[in-house]
Amino acid sequence: MTENIYDVTIIGAGPVGLFTAFYGGMRQASVKIIESLPHTGGQLTALYPEKDIYDIAGFPKVRAQELVDNLVEQANLFDPAIVLGQAIETVERLDDGTFKLTSDKEVHYTKTIIITAGNGAFQPRRLNVGDSEQYEGVNLHYHVKDMNQYKDQNVMLLGGGDSAVDWALMLEPIAKKVTLVHRRDKFRAHEHSVEKLMASNIDVLTPFVPVNIEGTNKIDKVVLEEVKGDRKIELEVDSVLCNYGFISSLGPIKDWGLEIEKNSIVVNSKMETNIKGIYAAGDICTYPGKVKLIATGFGEGPTAINNAKQYIDPKARIQPKHSTSMELL
Ligand SMILES: Cc1cc2nc3c(=O)[nH]c(=O)nc-3n(C[C@H](O)[C@H](O)[C@H](O)COP(=O)(O)OP(=O)(O)OC[C@H]3O[C@@H](n4cnc5c(N)ncnc54)[C@H](O)[C@@H]3O)c2cc1C
């Protein structure tokens, strides 16, 4: 079993988790990173992939998803194990001092843990209309895994943010027909995308909400109702893509015995929590003067790694060698 015990397991593959994974590799730790969503990137990918960020050191401007792609490329220099689609639920310290982490699907063994869980595990906000739950993964989806799955289909998208509008635009050339339904006349998405939407062949239905779905083995029909009106529309669909955003919750991590203050994990200047061997960094952690920014998390991750390294091997230096002295490839 020893080969399955990682030096560091990072919970959460947001920007801070990804950079922490890179840094762990640079300090020659074996690293596993576990994320509840089916993709990396945390808030950047889930909430604002197309927005430009201006306060990342060295980047006058960078698109959120581009920053995530770069962080993944940087982390992959050291080949960390990346586990997607698993929310970590419980932790147990074993007799030899290592930890056993249990997700909703698997167990993981590790010498140290760095929690970079942001606001907690992200889950898509669900449709909750009729018995919609039974169609999840059949023809009701919350993520696009493969655009070609929608080839020549009648696709209905629900939502008014960037994800809904961007996916509608991307699916338009592939699907037979795309309908976008939003409960308000005004879209929250980027102005430029909304302009493109209005000039496209996408059927935009506002202000409408789905009130019922009909089908047997899959959703065949969606019933829409006008908000504050009495118009009803029934539309036949092949697939429904719901983009109502995400909800996040610290969930079971709250019960691990960690010191929690206002939904954040209390750490000291070494990023240590009150449980030896467990560290926290990024939006999830708090200490006097903490600010929740990507830039601060990018400093906290390396601090956590350097101290975790010394926890595993008391002879290891906290102060790392400079990356410029590393020979890569
Ligand atoms: C609209 C918007 C604009 C922003 N603009 C800026 C900006 O311009 N500059 C800036 O510095 N900051 C900005 N921020 C804030 C920035 O996004 C956060 O500070 C940053 O995402 C924090 O990174 P993180 O890695 O700590 O957490 P997150 O990005 O929240 O990632 C945490 C990840 O951990 C996962 N996770 C949580 N719990 C578990 C679990 N139990 N098991 C497995 N996985 C788990 C979550 O699913 C999530 O993917 C913005 C935020 C928003 C919403």
Question: Does 203 show up as a binding residue in the annotation?
Answer: no
Q: Which of 244, 269, 304 is the last residue in one of the domains? A: 244
Residues 114 and 253 in one domain: yes
Residues 94 and 106 in one domain: yes
Residue in 1, 10, 2 with CA at minimum distance from that of residue 101: 10
Asked if 127 and 138 count as a contact pair (C-beta separation under 8 A), the reply is no
What pLDDT is attached to residue 321?
83
Domains identified in the chain, total number: 2
The set of residues, in sequence order, having a beta carbon less than 8 Å from that of 64 and lying 6+ positions away, is 41, 44, 45, 48, 49, 50, 51, 52, 53
CA distance 313 to 316: 5
pLDDT tens, residue order, the chain (329 aa): 445 899 999 999 999 999 999 999 999 999 999 999 999 999 998 888 878 899 999 999 999 999 999 999 999 999 999 999 999 999 999 999 999 999 989 999 999 999 999 998 888 899 999 999 999 989 999 988 788 999 999 999 999 998 899 999 999 999 999 999 999 999 998 899 999 999 999 999 999 999 999 998 999 999 999 999 989 999 999 999 999 988 888 889 999 999 999 889 999 999 999 999 999 999 999 999 999 999 999 999 999 999 999 999 999 888 888 998 887 65
Protein residue closest via CA to atom 19 of ligand 1: 293
User: Could you tell me the two tokens for 277?
Assistant: 């061997």
Residues 270 and 166 in one domain: no
Residues 201 and 283 in one domain: no
What does the angle CA 57 – CA 60 – CA 64 come to, to the nearest 5 degrees? Answer: 80
Question: Does 246 show up as a binding residue in the annotation?
Answer: no
Q: Is residue 12 lining ligand 1, measured as CB closer than 6 Å?
A: yes
Q: Is the peptide bond before 207 cis (omega within 30 degrees of 0)?
A: yes
CA distance 74 to 22: 6
Q: Which of 244, 260, 280 is the last residue in one of the domains? A: 244
Question: Does 78 show up as a binding residue in the annotation?
Answer: no
Range(s) of the domain holding residue 134? 126-244
**What number of CA atoms fall less than 13 Å from residue 160's CA on the CB side?**
14
What pLDDT is attached to residue 292?
96
Residues 16 and 113 in one domain: yes
What secondary structure does DSSP assign to 268-315, as a single string? -TT-B-SSTTEEE-GGGEE-TT----HHHHHHHHHHHHHHHHHHH-TT
Residues 159 and 201 in one domain: yes
Q: What is the dihedral of CA 250, 92, 258, 251, to 10 degrees?
A: 10
Tokens 């970079």 appear where? 116
CA distance 263 to 272: 17
With both helix axes pointing from N to C terminus, report the angle between 191-198 and 162-171 in degrees, rounded to the nearest 10: 40
Q: Is residue 37 lining ligand 1, measured as CB closer than 6 Å?
A: yes
User: Could you tell me the two tokens for 126?
Assistant: 């669900």
User: Could you tell me the two tokens for 273?
Assistant: 């929590």
What's CA 75's distance to the chain center, in Å? 16
What pLDDT is attached to residue 143?
83
Q: Is residue 160 lining ligand 1, measured as CB closer than 6 Å?
A: no
pTM, to two decimals = 0.83
CA distance 224 to 232: 6
Q: Sheet holding 239-242: strands in order across?
A: 140-141, 239-242, 154-158, 177-181, 203-205
Q: Is residue 122 lining ligand 1, measured as CB closer than 6 Å?
A: yes
What pLDDT is attached to residue 1?
47
Q: Which of 244, 267, 294 is the last residue in one of the domains? A: 244
Q: What is the CATH number of the domain that holds 186?
A: 3.50.50.60
